[in-house]
Amino acid sequence: MDNFEYLNGRLCAEEVPVTRIAEEYGTPTYIYSRDALERAYLDYAQALEGRDALVCYAVKANSNIGVLNVLARLGAGFDIVSVGELERVIKAGGDPAKVVFSGVAKREGEMRRALEAGIHCFNIESEAELDRLNKVAAELDKVAAISLRVNPDVDAGTHPYISTGLKDNKFGVAIEDAARIYAYANSLSHLDVQGVDCHIGSQLTEIAPFLDALDRLLVLIDTLASEGITIKHLDLGGGLGVCYTDEVPPTPQEYIAAVIERLGDRPLKLIFEPGRSIAANAGIMITKVEFLKCTEHKNFAIIDGAMNDLIRPALYSAYMEIIPVEVREGESRSFDLVGPVCESGDFLGKDRQLNLEAGDLLAVCSAGAYGFGMSSNYNTRNRAAEVMVDDNQIHLIRKRETVVDQLRGESVLPG
Ligand SMILES: Cc1ncc(COP(=O)(O)O)c(C=O)c1O
Ligand SMILES: N[C@@H](CCCC[NH3+])C(=O)O
């Protein structure tokens, strides 16, 4: 994590000591680096320079409008999965004309809003969804640009909960049915067939599954061309992995170069929907050790960050690197880092070698993606604050939630 480094034994976010952020904003808090976000986005944009292409950041990975705004300023497009994400993009200054709308069940109202905003394309996942969009577009007297999400039936080799391109998964249409469904889409008066898309899974650490999927899509694109349906863009979704521990995923440059080589001279516009590979290593979550609870059997460090703040370890058994904010000399011991939530699955790390005392600050690394966005109010815990660091400046981009915020909208029965 280039933008989170130690200076004289103290962890810094860009030029700001993390302890200062903890003092000002408390814990747990998510901290993002503007520079890291920008560089991760530019890795994609620069690898695609000179081509007709769009990098649509997957908003679900980290949807804070401060994050979206940093990317929008660089000209990013966005991949959304709800009208709420569309409103975030618009509020953050993103261009709706660079938005693709994914998801298996877009509601009529969501389609309407997206059509009115003038999004780039709807990524459609079923025949029923084609009918729904055609009807909504007809009511608005508009024509909706569409792409079909094709499920290429390739094994992404990732955790089963985040694998999406197999026949067993709920996503997209089966590749064997795709030509027939394209012909149907082409017959609908308020749809304009523009593209093909797929997304085979997340946290992929090899190029091969992407290329397997690509090869299958290229066969489909050539088949469609022979049937008079011209595909103008190819959207390969997101999915490129990051290093959480010792993984060595391909870089965006390597991945994109391999894709471009496979395309040959087909004049296809390329779209990517990276989420994790843009946001994960641009963020950490800081948390404080409340108590140490050491027994003959085990050492627990009870921290103020919990599964509601960062659910990846509990949900996917994901390994997140956890490091001290201030390095202390002395012997390390093995600790399970557990939160205050009433669940045995409430841990952020197990069996970590650390030298800890109550009151210490810890940083959970690579927490910029699927961190805050997946957090909840379980146990009526307030969701964390979020800050963005820009050189030596700290910007609060989301206030810590309060109980008043949480109870707003709830009521008791009358009488
Ligand atoms: C359709 C779609 N596009 C893009 C993404 C972003 O994926 P990642 O964060 O792995 O790049 C996802 C999430 O997995 C997705 O479902
Ligand atoms: N939320 C997941 C990845 C799923 C991505 C959305 N399709 C994670 O934390 O790794």
Judge whether 268 and 30 are in contact, CB under 8 Å: no
34-278 and 4-32+280-407 share a CATH fold? no
Least distant ligand from the CA of 279: 1
Other CB atoms within a 10 A radius of the CB of residue 288 amount to 18
Q: Pick the catalytic residue from 12, 198, 342, 365.
A: 342
Domain boundaries, the chain: 4-32+280-407, 34-278
Residue 134, ligand 1, Cβ within 6 A? no
Vertex 166: Cα angle to 162 and 170 (nearest 5): 75
Contacts of 27 (CB under 8 A, 6+ apart): 286, 287, 288, 304, 305, 361
Contacts of 199 (CB under 8 A, 6+ apart): 102, 149, 164, 165, 171, 172, 236, 237, 238, 239, 273
- At residue 75, the 3 state secondary structure works out as coil
In the prediction, which pLDDT does 162 show?
59
Q: Is 386 annotated as a binding residue?
A: no
Structure tokens at 288: 């404080």
342 is known as an active-site residue: yes
Least distant ligand from the CA of 240: 1
Q: Is 239 annotated as a binding residue?
A: yes
Architecture of domain 34-278: Alpha-Beta Barrel (3.20)
Which regions of the chain are under pLDDT 50?
none
Mutation to probe ligand 1, out of 129, 276, 278, 366 (largest number of atoms < 8 A from CB): 276
Q: Is 370 annotated as a binding residue?
A: yes
Q: Is the dihedral of CA 227, 228, 234, 235 positive or negative?
A: negative
Least distant ligand from the CA of 156: 1
How many whole angstroms separate alpha carbon 240 and alpha carbon 201? 9
In the prediction, which pLDDT does 221 show?
97
- Which neighbouring-strand residues pair with 293? 300
Question: What is the rounded average pLDDT for all residues in the chain?
Answer: 96
Name the E strands within 131-266: 144-151, 173-174, 191-197, 233-235
Residue 79, ligand 1, Cβ within 6 A? yes
In the prediction, which pLDDT does 143 show?
98
ipTM of this predicted structure:
0.98
Judge whether 308 and 376 are in contact, CB under 8 Å: yes
In the prediction, which pLDDT does 166 show?
61
In the prediction, which pLDDT does 160 show?
60
How many whole angstroms separate alpha carbon 350 and alpha carbon 96? 43
Mutation to probe ligand 2, out of 197, 200, 203 (largest number of atoms < 8 A from CB): 203
How many whole angstroms separate alpha carbon 360 and alpha carbon 19? 10
- Burial class (CB within 10 angstroms; exposed 0-12, middle 13-18, buried 19+) of 290: middle
Q: Output the CA 369–ligand 2 centroid distance in Å.
A: 8
Residue 152, ligand 1, Cβ within 6 A? no
Q: In the CATH scheme, what is the homologous superfamily, with its name and number, of domain 4-32+280-407?
A: Lyase, Ornithine Decarboxylase; Chain A, domain 1 (2.40.37.10)
Q: Is 383 annotated as a binding residue?
A: no
Judge whether 163 and 155 are in contact, CB under 8 Å: yes
Structure tokens at 234: 């190819």
